[in-house]
Copies of this chain bind each other. A is one copy, B any other.
Amino acid sequence: MSEQARPVRRIPEATVTRLPVYLRSLYELAETRTATISSEQLAEMAGVNAAKVRKDLSYLGSYGTRGVGYDVQYLLFQMSRELGLTQDWPVVIVGVGNLGHALANYRGFGDRGFPVAALIDADPNRVGQEIGPLRIRHIDELSDIVGELKVAIGVVATPATSAQEVVDRLVAAGVRSILNFAPASVVVPDGVSLRKVDLAVELQILSFYQQRSLAESDADAV
């Protein structure tokens, strides 16, 4: 009897990564008081094709109206709910160097339901420093901080060499979602989500295609 009758829709990973993009488009539409939107139009805004939009949205449920399109407000609500955005998820930023500093000052976090609850560093020279309303605290306090402030997401902005250790500490403290900005591959146990943002990787990918396209135009020029 432990099985639920409710069919827990299995949303493909690729779809999950696109939902936030649709969501952003929906916010824009809501601002311009647009009432309904077709998959075609939404696709254009999100930079994908219409079939993909329809397939993706169908995983959330049948929220459209044939012959009409999707109700912007309703879809906005359903998607927010599905993404877990009806509640706040407090964030802790670990590593307050250049990048961590910028992230700490970035309004986009709090504005969108991810309040920065704490700033953490290992460097005693930084601990105690104030950034906006927050005082940087020492990494040894991490576990307490996570518990007290109900931290849900850990943002790692340390140098590569400390990244794995910081991740381990976050996991030990009970954090189950981690966003890693450090240029290092880190591992997490099952049940913990990890996303990575790596500048160098992105630039190198661009470099690959840049070189390819130059090589081609050189060949053409011969």
Which secondary structure characterizes the binding site on chain A? helix
Q: Does A68 contact B (CB under 8 A)?
A: no
Copies of this protein in the complex = 2
Q: Which residue of B lies closest to A81 (CB)?
A: B211
* CB of A70 within 8 Å of the partner chain: no
B201 and A206 contact, CB distance less than 8 A: no
Quick one: which of A19, A84, A183 has the most chain B CB within 10 A?
Answer: A84
- Verify A20–B204 contact, CB threshold 8 A: yes
| Sampled A-B contacts (30; CB under 8 Å) | A2-B220, A2-B222, A19-B204, A19-B208, A20-B200, A20-B201, A24-B200, A82-B208, A83-B204, A83-B208, A83-B211, A84-B207, A84-B208, A84-B210, A84-B212, A89-B207, A89-B210, A98-B105, A101-B102, A112-B204, A113-B207, A114-B203, A114-B207, A152-B210, A153-B203, A177-B206, A177-B209, A179-B203, A193-B206, A197-B199
Chain A residues within 8 Å of B, Cβ to Cβ = 2, 4, 16-17, 19-21, 23-25, 45-47, 82-85, 89, 91, 98-99, 101-103, 105-106, 108-109, 112-114, 152-153, 176-179, 183-187, 191, 193, 195, 197-213, 219-220, 222
